[in-house]
Amino acid sequence: MQNENISIMAPRCDMFFPYSDENPTRSFSLFTVILILANCVIYYMEVYGQPAFAQLINSYALVPCNVNKLHLDDYRYYVPFISHMFLHVNIIHVAGNMLFLWIFGNNVEDVLGGIRFYAFYVLCGLAAALTFYLFHHTECTPIIGASGAVSGVLGGYVVLFPSARVKVWFIFFVLRLRAWFFILLWFLLQLSNLYGEQSGVSNVAWSAHVGGFIAGFVLIMFFKKRY
């Protein structure tokens, strides 16, 4: 299913790869689990269901040049800005996104509550898609993947839990990094790769990661519960 002509949103972190955090939740993170299951089920349908993967990409991926052909009163203009975040190109793509979502999403949901968390997640994904669209509005490269929204979850997490410990693999070692430090490294990596996206060297949608993260960093202040 890998396609070199698809831009993917994948939580790339190179040598630093998180696998857990030391930040217990107070309650079961239902909506985080629902989002993970939804993405996994949809990926299963991509592989084994109908229509074929190419048809799904054409209908539900965000393809900037296709959006430009539609009128604002056509629902198909808006659907790809949401539906793209539930599509993935291969098992590594979906697994990486869902791992990041589980590590950081359950704690954010714990603070926001399920409905607020779901709205926050979707708005971050929408902001990521709009950022990519602004950078590539004349291009016909499809974009798929959940990590624009997941990047927003990281933005919210670092505001809420800057001092939480995140366990990451670094080559052959396990490190316990403060969330603010790990997420800062992650964000700087996204920024450093923007040129590769703009020049066509990379098929990772780095601009979407940046847009989603900034949206999450800002929106969390409006979404978090006030006691």
| Average pLDDT of the segment spanning 81-87 | 91
Q: CA nearest 156: which of 203, 122, 107, 84?
A: 107
Whole-number Å distance between alpha carbons of 31 and 22: 20
pTM above 0.85, yes or no: yes
Confidence band of 195 (pLDDT split at 50, 70, 90):
confident
Q: Is 119 helix (H, G, I), strand (E, B) or coil?
A: helix
Confidence band of 14 (pLDDT split at 50, 70, 90):
low
ω into residue 51 within 30 of 0, thus cis?
yes
Whole-number Å distance between alpha carbons of 40 and 88: 9
Q: Which residue has the tokens 């990661």?
A: 209
Question: First-to-last CA distance in the chain?
Answer: 47
Lowest mean pLDDT among 55-59, 70-74, 126-130, 206-210: 70-74
7-223 CATH fold: Rhomboid-like fold (1.20.1540)
Q: Which amino acid is at 52?
A: A
* Strand duo 16-21 + 173-178: pairing: unpaired
76-97 in b/e form (b: 16+ CB < 10 A) is eeeebbebbbbbbbeeebbebb
Q: Which amino acid is at 144?
A: I
Every domain of the chain and the residues it spans:
7-223
* Strand duo 165-170 + 173-178: pairing: antiparallel
